[in-house]
Amino acid sequence: MPVLTDTWKCRLSGAARGAGRIIPAVLVASASIDGLAVVWRAVFPSSPPPIAAIAGQVDHQVDLAKGFAIDCVTTYLTASTTQAANLGRCFPHPDKLSMPTTPALIVSSPTAYTSQPAHPRDDVTTYGVMVAVTEQPYPTARPARAYYQIPVGIYRNASPRALDNLARVDPPPPGVDLELGYPVTIAANTALSTMLSGFITCYLTKAPGLERFITTDSGLRALAGYANTTITGVQAATNPPDNPADNTELPVHIDVSARRPDYTQIDLSYPLTLRSVGGNWFVAQIDAIPVMGDTTPTPVQSTTQGGSS
C-alpha cells in the first residue's frame, strides 16, 4: 500500500478544511434562493389557469357541433335531387349520397347531444353527435322518432365539417325510475293544502293575489295561462310542525290538473320549497329538482323498437 508523504497529507487536510467551509456556504445560499422564490411567489403569484376561458371554448365547440349536426341531418333527410348542392356544405362526398326526386320525409323537433371530444389532431377536434328527429312521410302520418349518428370535426374552434355520412342507430337505452322523497300525505282540508290551492290558482290563472302566498324573495310572477286549476294531491318531505319557527323550510310536492282556455286538460307537478314567516307557510321557490327518496333506482324495461315513438 503506498505511503502518503507529508506534502500530500497537508494538501488533503487543506482540501478537507476548504470543503468544510464551502459546503455550508452552498447550503445557506441554496436555502436563501429557495426562500426568495417562496417570497416572490407570495408577492407575485402565478396567474391562475384560464379555466373559465377553456370551459367557454369547449361549450362553444359543443354547441357548434350539435347545431351543425342537426342542420346536416335534417338537410339530408329532407333533400331532393334539386337540392344536391346543399349537401356539399356538410358532407365530404355529397356525390355518393342518394336523394329522391321529391322530399321523402317531413322532419321536425330535432335535438342533439355529443360524446366526449377526441384529442385534437392538426387543429381539429372531433365529436360524435347523436341527432334525434321526428319523421313523417306525409303530414297526417303517425310521427316516429328516429336517431342518427354523425361525426363532426371542428377546425380551429370555429369551422365545422361532417367527417362521414350519417348512420341510423338505436335510441339511447331507457333510464331508471326513482321514487320521490315526499312520504307524508297532506289532507285536503288542512290550512297548508288551502294555501297551496290558493297559490297555484293565482300562479296559473288570472286570479289576483299571488303575493299573499309567496315570500318577498321568491321571484315568482303569475303565468295566467289557464282557465282554472285543481290540486289532486299534496305530499311533504316531513311532517309539518304545528308552530314552525321563522325561516323553517319544508319541501312539498303538489299534483295539479289545469284546464286551458280551449277546455283541454293538462296534468302538472310542482316540487316546492315552503318557508315559514310569522307562523304561516309561504312558497319560497319552485324547485328545479324534486326531493329524491332513498330507494334503489329501478331500471326501465324498453317496450319499443328503435325509431318508434
Residues 6+ apart with CB under 8 A from 201: 207, 228, 229
For all residues of the chain together, what is the average pLDDT?
84
pLDDT band at 307 (very low <50, low <70, confident <90, very high): very low
Q: What is the pLDDT, as a whole number, of residue 308?
A: 46
pLDDT at position 22: 58
What pLDDT shows up at residue 82?
82
Predicted structure pTM score: 0.69
Please report the pLDDT score of residue 84 as a whole number.
Answer: 78
Q: What is the mean pLDDT of residues 260-268?
A: 96
Cell numbers 321571484: residue: 219
Sign (positive or negative) of CA dihedral 71, 72, 77, 83: positive
23 or 203: whose pLDDT is higher? Answer: 203
Lowest mean pLDDT among 47-61, 101-115, 172-186, 282-296: 47-61
- Tell how strand 298-299 and strand 280-286 pair up: unpaired
Contact residues for 291 (Cβ-Cβ < 8 A; gap 6+): 180, 181, 182, 237, 251, 253, 271
The C-alpha atoms of residue 6 and residue 190 are separated, in whole angstroms, by: 110
Cβ neighbours of residue 78 closer than 8 Å, sequence gap 6 or more: 103, 105, 106, 107
Name the pLDDT band for 242 (thresholds 50, 70, 90).
confident
- Choice among 21-35, 121-135, 195-209, 243-257 with the minimum mean pLDDT: 21-35
Reported as type and span, the H/E element at residue 146 is strand 144-155
- Mean pLDDT within 105-118: 88
| pLDDT value at 232 more than 80 | yes
pLDDT class of 29 with cuts at 50, 70, 90: low
Specify whether the CB–CB gap between 177 and 300 falls below 8 A: yes
pLDDT (mean) for 145-155: 94
pLDDT above 90 for 44: no
Confidence at 58, pLDDT banded by 50, 70, 90: low
Confidence at residue 25, expressed as pLDDT on a 0 to 100 scale: 56
The mean pLDDT value for 177-200 works out to 96
- Reply yes or no on whether the pLDDT at 9 is more than 80: no
The count of residues in the chain is 309
Task: At 82, give phi and psi (nearest 5°).
Answer: -80, -10
Give pLDDT, residue 309.
43
In the predicted structure, residue 55 carries a pLDDT above the cut 60: no
